[in-house]
Amino acid sequence: MTDLVVRRAGRLLTMTGAGVGALESAAVVVRAGLVTWVGAERDLPAGIGDVAELDAAGACVTPGFVDPHTHLVWAGSRRDDFVDRLAGVPYTEVAARGGGIHSTVRQTRAASYTDLVEQAGARVDAMSRTGTTTVEIKSGYGLTEPDELRLLDVTDELRRTRGEAVESTLLGAHAVPPETGRAAYVDAVVAMLPAARAHRAGWCDVFCDRGAFTVDEARRVLTAARDAGLGRRIHAEQIARTGAAELAAELGCASADHLDHVDAAGARALAAAGVVGVLLPACTLTMGHGDWGAAAVLRDAGATIALGTDCNPGTSWCESMPYVIQLACLAYRLPVEEAFRAATVDAARALRRDDVGRVAVGARGDLAVLAADHEADLVAHLGATPVTATVVAGRASS
């Protein structure tokens, strides 16, 4: 939490109003971590005092990116799965021979708490270097109450010790652990909800899909989550169309995520209920799920679209929101302005936050200085370093 003035933003995307709310030749003042002034630099009030300065040197400055969907607390590697899948081995076969989520569960359970904090922290560092300042983090590689709570504690430690805004989600219903029967495990997830809340989770998520949890199982877990005072979100329509989007609408989820196979009826249900559709194109690319039609289906239905990395070791090893924005534009054909909104103000909506994802008085002082004069250049310039400085609650790093 600190004081800072950002000068010479050639183009500042405020994300206020419709579109990207661009201001030319702009400046931003942050005090005690919050934005206190934003406008054209020539109008900067005199006497702002002796505060640190960041010279954007004419570059495009955006709100810090909001990543609303990650599984970033894990240990170990899934490189064998990756190589096998590249060689054409189906994911079901990879999972059947002990790979997939269960492989990461074994490696994560075996890791020390300190190692998990260190590795997860290094991933948040990588995110910060590419402009992310708010991150949602799911558990889900523990699959017993003590193991899941340990992962929530890792997330809470990151929240307490770092400047980024962190949202914590229990994803106990990620997979059925091999040592427990299916019905008994759904009971166990319901039973862990109060403890998850006590370990500072704000959200509950369920992997509702073919081969994962059914719509009825997801309804049971998420209804109990509501009763336990947790917000709801759901992995929906990733592998197959199951009706999980309609369930998200029925239960008032803040977001339905993945959605590679969402259809028009599901998208309309999301739009009508105000559920944000979170697209995860790095996962779609890695897994080859869907035909990249989901963004058009959601747009046609009038649903709000957000973007996230889905950062995880098996299906989306990606910390970079700029890379996700590039994929969204090039593969889903999202217009550049919509992709930037989806990575900032609309991703904040998916987390039900209005203090991040935009540059306005009272919002957190979170910014990304792009290595580009215009946001469209960030999309067009493939393989380049996308961000030259990130500001987290008024503290700049480059």
Distance CA 292, CA 285 (A): 9
Applying the rule CB under 5 A, the residues between 288 and 327 that interact with Fe ion are 310
Is residue 135 near ligand NIG by the rule CB under 6 A?
no
For the bound state, the minimum distance from the C-beta of residue 266 to ligand NIG, rounded and expressed in Å, comes to 17
Smaller CB distance to ligand NIG: residue 14 or 238?
Answer: 238
In angstroms, the CA 239 to CA 211 distance is: 9
What residue 325 binds from ligand NIG, Fe ion, none (CB within 5 to 8 A, per partner kind)? Answer: none
Amino acid at 189: V
Cβ proximity of 234 and 253 under 8 Å: yes
Which one of Fe ion, ligand NIG, none interacts with residue 344, CB within 5 to 8 A by kind? none
Residue among 38 and 282 whose Cβ is closer to Fe ion: 282
Examine residue 207 and tell whether it contacts ligand NIG (CB under 6 A). yes
CB of 21: closest distance to Fe ion in angstroms?
30
CB of 115 to ligand NIG, least distance (A): 18
Residue 104, contacted partner among Fe ion, ligand NIG, none, CB below 5-8 A by kind: ligand NIG
Q: Name the one range near ligand NIG by CB under 6 A: 39-47, 99-107, 299-307, 387-395.
A: 99-107
Rule CB under 6 A: say whether 314 interacts with ligand NIG.
Answer: yes
Q: How far is the CB of 99 from ligand NIG (least distance, A)?
A: 9
Residue 338, interface with Fe ion (CB under 5 A)? no
Q: Which of 157, 85, 172 is nearest to 116 (CA)?
A: 157
CB of 73 to ligand NIG, least distance (A): 11
Cβ distance to Fe ion smaller for residue 30 or 321: 321
Pick from 253, 185, 191, 195: nearest CA to 219:
253
Nearer to ligand NIG, 58 or 211 (CB): 211
**Position 71 contacts ligand NIG (CB under 6 A):** yes
Identify what 386 binds: Fe ion, ligand NIG, none; CB under 5 to 8 Å per kind.
none
What's the rounded Cα separation, in Å, for the pair 220 and 95?
26
Nearer to ligand NIG, 207 or 332 (CB): 207
The secondary structure of the chain, three-state, reads: CCCEEEEEEEEEECCCCCCCCEEEEEEEEEECCEEEEEEEHHHCCCCCCCCEEEECCCCEEEECEEECCECCCCCCCCHHHHHHHHCCCCHHHHHHCCCCHHHHHHHHHHCCHHHHHHHHHHHHHHHHHCCEEEEEEECCCCCCHHHHHHHHHHHHHHHHHCCCEEEEEEEEECCCCCCCCHHHHHHHHHHHHHHHHHCCCCEEEEEECCCCECHHHHHHHHHHHHHCCCEEEEEECCCCCCCHHHHHHHHCCCEEEECCCCCHHHHHHHHHHCCEEEECHHHHHHHCCCCCCHHHHHHHHCCCEEECCCEECCCECCCCHHHHHHHHHHCCCCCHHHHHHHCCHHHHHHCCCCCCCCCCCCCECCEEEECCCCHHHHHHCCCCCCEEEEEECCEEEC
Of all residues in the shown chain, the one whose CB is closest to ligand NIG is: 314
Least distance CB 190 / ligand NIG (angstroms): 20
Binding mask 233-272 for ligand NIG (x = CB under 6 A): --x--x----------------------------------
103 vs 130 by CB, closer to ligand NIG: 103
Q: Are strands 22-31 and 4-13 parallel, antiparallel or unpaired?
A: antiparallel
169 binds ligand NIG (CB under 6 A): no
Residue type, 366: D
Binding of Fe ion by 260 (CB under 5 A) = no
Is residue 317 within the footprint of ligand NIG (CB under 6 A)? no
Binding-site residue total for ligand NIG (CB under 6 A)?
A: 14
CB of 96 to ligand NIG, least distance (A): 14
Q: Specify the residue, 4 or 236, whose C-beta has the smaller distance to ligand NIG.
A: 236
For Fe ion, the binding residues (CB under 5 A) are: 310
Q: What are the residues binding ligand NIG (CB under 6 A)?
A: 71, 100-101, 104, 207, 235, 238, 283, 310, 312-316
